Structure 1
């Protein structure tokens, strides 16, 4: 059975609450027992906070959740706007693979970004060249299609680079003989 990672007050309290509630609901645990089980997921400053709550001051898990969230809200990670994606540009010495990984990581922090916005932001970032040309030429309608196209392009690029390197290695070996 999966377990909830201990919470020490330094991370997102809402994420911890959701993980805990999901696990409890999966097991069919009633709210009264959730109140008693919740402190077992706390450590350090979070456990101290819980131990300082006045006895019988909380009647439901919903109340406990609200107090917990409001106390540790400083650790909450807020979702970013899609506007921040428009600033992601492929650096001069950055590979396409690295740019895509960086873009995807940032895109995961965006709340409810639709495909049109993601595609527009993504196509705004690559350096001018063959990939960007092929991206516009392909005119993908979904971000999945864009990433599929990019993966095909990167794999082709890798294969061509590997093919170019083999003759160079042979030439070096022949020169040393």
Structure 2
């Protein structure tokens, strides 16, 4: 499978996934019957579940598979919003940083034309975690991927610290 084909989990525009997959299949000059076999390898999560639950014999070829796939996941089609909509994605009360990160990634995928610096600035303003803000302000991330990696590192360190504090509290109480 070409490296540029990401797994599709049903959370984004299905036509975008079909387009990438078709380009790779055409470039590789795959026979049409191979397309259907290879396509299932690009699915994950709810999309993989959908594929596994297709009744045997319900797909007649690539055209039928493409139609059923896009029809099933059409609600996830990118409804491109104005780039300023990114500022409305804010961490909710009682929402964990991990949950917010996942929601932010999905919601920003529907907003086209947002500059990397605007994404970083918006996320840094929206996460509402003073400790994370301090860590980011010491060295502002230059890319969204870097920011997300540093967020994951922060969450892991906070979990480790909390676990250590709990063990110490248990030791002291005995």
What's the TM-score, normalizing by structure 1? 0.57
Aligned length in residues: 131
Post-superposition Cα deviations, 1:21-60, rounded to whole Å, max 9, x if no partner, equal: 531332166xxxxxxxxx722449x59xxxxxxxxxxxxx
Q: Which residue of 1 aligns with 2:61?
A: 40
Contact 2:124/2:133 (8 A) holds in 1: yes
**Corresponding residue SS for 1:94:** coil
Contact 1:92/1:127 (8 A) holds in 2: no
In structure 1, how many angstroms separate the alpha carbons of the residues matched to 2:15 and 2:99? 31
In structure 2, how many angstroms separate the alpha carbons of the residues matched to 1:99 and 1:164? 25
Q: CA RMSD in A?
A: 3.4
* Pairwise CA distance, 1:100: 1.5
In structure 2, how many angstroms separate the alpha carbons of the residues matched to 1:93 and 1:14? 33
Q: Which residue of 1 aligns with 2:106?
A: 105
Q: Which residue of 1 aligns with 2:24?
A: 22
Q: Which residue of 2 aligns with 1:83?
A: 84
In structure 2, how many angstroms separate the alpha carbons of the residues matched to 1:127 and 1:85? 15
In structure 1, how many angstroms separate the alpha carbons of the residues matched to 2:143 and 2:88? 20
Q: Which residue of 1 aligns with 2:116?
A: 115
- Return 5+ residue gaps in structure 1 as ranges: 3-10, 30-38, 48-71
- Return 5+ residue gaps in structure 2 as ranges: 3-12, 32-59
Cα pair distance change 1:114/1:13, threshold 3 Å? closer
Query: After the TM superposition, which segments of 4 or more aligned residues of structure 1 sit over 4 Å from their partners?
Result: 11-15
Contact 1:82/1:117 (8 A) holds in 2: no
* Pairwise CA distance, 1:14: 6.2
Contact 2:78/2:109 (8 A) holds in 1: no
Contact 1:80/1:110 (8 A) holds in 2: yes
**Corresponding residue SS for 2:61:** helix
What's the TM-score, normalizing by structure 2? 0.57
